[in-house]
Amino acid sequence: MKATIAQVRTYPRSVQLLMVNQFTINLGFYMLMPYLAQHLSGSLGLAGWTVGLILGVRNFSQQGMFLVGGTLADRLGYKPVIITGLVLRIVGFATLGLVDSVPALLAASAATGLAGALFNPAVRAYVSVETGERRIDAFALFNVFYQAGILLGPLVGMLLTGVDFSVTCLVSAGIFALLSIVQMRALPARRADDAQNTLNPQAAQTSKHTRRAKHGRHARRAQEGVLSQWRGIVANRPFLLFSAAMIGFYVLQFQVYLSLPLEVRRLGGDGEFGTAAVAVMFAVSGLSTILFQTKVTAWCKARMEPGQALSRGLLIMGLAFVPLIVPTVVPVPEGGMGLWLLAAGPPTLAAFLLAVGTMIAYPFEMDTIVRLSGDRLVATHYGLYNTICGIGITLGNLGTGAALDSARAAGMAAIPWLALTVLGIACATALYGLHRSGRLVPPAPDPQPELVKV
């Protein structure tokens, strides 16, 4: 951890702040969200379909508004959009803990989702602008802070929810309030156009004529309509192909929260063992990232091109589900150590392999989005990318859940794990194909105007 902290200190203060920002965002979010469904159905006594609706509104408002959030960040600047998102989280989380009417809960849930749609693309674009050629290493560190928040949040939330769920909501809102104040005072303002100078240090050395030409181009871009910008991004075929291929990355990654806990509880039961086994699985996933992310990224950078790292990361994530086939083909003991090992071992190994695949792919994924954007409208590209992958996650989770139920009912419990393995291999193959065909190479930059000698 000392080496990680030392590496963080080599980045600008703004980047350090955004890394702590992401840790705090995840800490506050995961303090509350894992316990929200139980609060709605238990303490408030809402019907299952109402709970699903409230949670679904949050997810839809976030995934559906990512493109809008990214566009606002590119047009208004990153800082005001980040702060607006944090303020919305304050309002949303405080409301969730203080109200019991369904309309108010729906509004609060929508506000928390919209908040994520605002600050997520803006934060990632800000990091990419500030770190320039060090983007890959920066996003590796970013993932360490991201996972640390996910790991610590539920533990803090469990302690606070033991007192009262409203306490959890208010503490979480307070964390976001403190974070908002810090961002207002300490985070420098940055705009999308700053990317050009950060990512191309020679830009500062250009002649007066070239600077005037650049200023004219930026002015024309600022006047360009939103729909025109969106059409331009949709016309970026390599970016869309990359986004589609990476859907599998998020579907597989999300199984740590969906199919793996269900498999643990299916074999180990819903008692103390099942709860402990799921907790161990989450701990292995989060701690492995915190401890090894920067080392894995450094190793991959020295030996692989970005496209190779992406495809190999997806391949490992697909193969992560092979161990889960074991309990479907061997006799399952009725109790004792054998049952515990079979219930906890394969899911925990799968979670670890998913974390390894994510560690390999994630920094290169974030870097590839910036490169395919041509360093232009970076936040908008992140927004559309998140929307595409978010739709894929929703469809993938519906398919996975249906497959788990139907396969077990038909006595073919291995089918879902085989399907997820095939998905990982297919997406890895698609990414490798994009890499070999040169479609992960960034587009050519805008041509510089020729200078006329006088």
How crowded is the C-beta side of 228, counted as CA atoms within 13 Å?
A: 6
Domains 1-196 and 226-438 share a fold: yes
Residue 251 structure tokens: 């579907």
Q: What is the architecture of the domain spanning 1-196?
A: Up-down Bundle (1.20)
Residue 205: what pLDDT? 43
CB 14 within 8 A of CB 122: no
**Rounded distance between C-alpha atoms, residue 6 and residue 20, angstroms:** 14
Is the pLDDT score of 219 beyond 50? no
Over the stretch 123-150, which tens digit does the pLDDT of each residue have?
999 999 999 889 999 999 999 999 999 9
DSSP 324: G
**Rounded distance between C-alpha atoms, residue 57 and residue 80, angstroms:** 24
Residue 445: what pLDDT? 55
**Rounded distance between C-alpha atoms, residue 394 and residue 389, angstroms:** 9
Residue 200: what pLDDT? 47
Whole-number mean pLDDT of the chain?
Answer: 87
Q: What percent of the chain has pLDDT over 70?
A: 89
- Which CATH class for the 226-438 domain? mainly alpha
CB 359 within 8 A of CB 296: yes
pTM of the predicted model, to two decimals?
0.87
**Rounded distance between C-alpha atoms, residue 422 and residue 413, angstroms:** 15
Q: E strands, 293-372, where?
A: none
Is the pLDDT score of 450 beyond 60? no
Confidence class for position 220, pLDDT limits 50, 70, 90: low
Mean pLDDT value across residues 100-129: 94
CB 229 within 8 A of CB 377: yes
Residue 122: what pLDDT? 95
User: Quick one: residue 448, left, alpha or beta (phi over 0 = left, psi -120 to 50 = alpha)?
Assistant: beta
**Rounded distance between C-alpha atoms, residue 385 and residue 378, angstroms:** 11
Confidence class for position 176, pLDDT limits 50, 70, 90: very high
Residue 221: what pLDDT? 52
Is the pLDDT score of 77 beyond 80? yes
Mean pLDDT value across residues 188-193: 79
Residue 166: what pLDDT? 92
Residue 42 structure tokens: 């238990």
Over the stretch 42-54, which tens digit does the pLDDT of each residue have?
888 888 788 878 8
SS (H, E, C) 378-421: HHHHHHHHHHHHHHHHHHHHHHHHHHHHHHHHCCCCCHHHHHHH
When comparing pLDDT for 47 and 87, which is higher? 87
Residue 215: what pLDDT? 47
Residue 72: what pLDDT? 95
Over the stretch 386-424, which tens digit does the pLDDT of each residue have?
999 988 888 888 888 888 888 878 888 899 999 999 999
Where do the structural domains in the chain lie, given as residue ranges? Answer: 1-196, 226-438
Residue 454: what pLDDT? 38
Residue 20: what pLDDT? 93
Over the stretch 230-275, which tens digit does the pLDDT of each residue have?
999 999 999 999 999 999 999 999 899 888 988 888 888 777 777 7
Q: What percent of the chain has pLDDT over 90?
A: 59
Over the stretch 305-363, which tens digit does the pLDDT of each residue have?
999 999 999 999 999 999 999 988 887 677 677 778 888 899 999 999 999 999 999 99
Residue 443: what pLDDT? 55
